[in-house]
Structure 1
Amino acid sequence: MRTDNGPQFISHAFGEACERFQIEHERIPPRTPNMNAHIEAFHRLLEEECLGRMVFDRDEEAYQAVVEYMRFYNERRIHSSILDLPPHECYKKAQTEA
């Protein structure tokens, strides 16, 4: 897992969880967001296309909105970087061509 150096990612609890779940954790160097460009772009889209358009009264509502957006993002939203296909379709296509 590649992350920035936010306090949540340098905590002992996070490090212990990575060890427990056998996750290799890599931190990008400070002040280099370009090294996390894909996830930064995704976070921008999540904010613009989902979270920034709604007001939530409860955490459960926000959670459900994110779940629905993730389904849309992966199964229906076209991505110009992968031949205008949703990720799910691109993955299926790659599996049949392999």
Structure 2
Amino acid sequence: MGIEHERISFKTSNKNAHIEAFHSTLEEECLSRNEFQTYAEVYQAVTEYIGFYNEIRIHSGINYLSPREFHRAYNQNSMNGLVIKA
């Protein structure tokens, strides 16, 4: 598939801003709001949060829609006027 894994230099999180932003959001909206007793609890909470993040949570980068709403609009060709931020 031509995929190559590349590591960024230490202390250069600006080169990986998207994943750094996700980790910050994960910490703020999921991990810091719960107290976990076991690894299994953390795993379950993070799995549920990723599902929420990828389907339901509103994202400013896709015109304040959830990914599910954005996908529906895209499939229905009703994206006129939607501004997508990179």
Q: Please indicate, yes or no, whether the TM-score normalized by the shorter chain is above 0.5.
A: yes
Residue by residue over 1:60-87, the C-alpha shift from the partner in whole angstroms, topping out at 9 and shown as x without a partner, is 1100000110111111100011111122
Unaligned runs of 5+ in 1: 1-21
Give the letter aligned to residue 44 of structure 1: S
State the TM-score, normalizing by the size of structure 2: 0.74
1:49 to 16, 23, 29: 29
Cα shift at 1:31: 3.1
Asked if 1:38 corresponds to 2:18, the answer is yes
- Structure 1: 4+ residue segments shifted above 4 A: none
> Residue 17 of structure 1 aligns with which residue?
none
More strand per residue: 1
Q: Which residue of 2 aligns with 1:24?
A: 4
Summarize the alignment of residues 1-98 of structure 1 with structure 2, pairs less than 5 Å apart.
Answer: 24-97=4-77
The number of residues matched between the two structures is 76
Q: Percent identity?
A: 57
Runs of 5+ unmatched residues, structure 2: 78-86
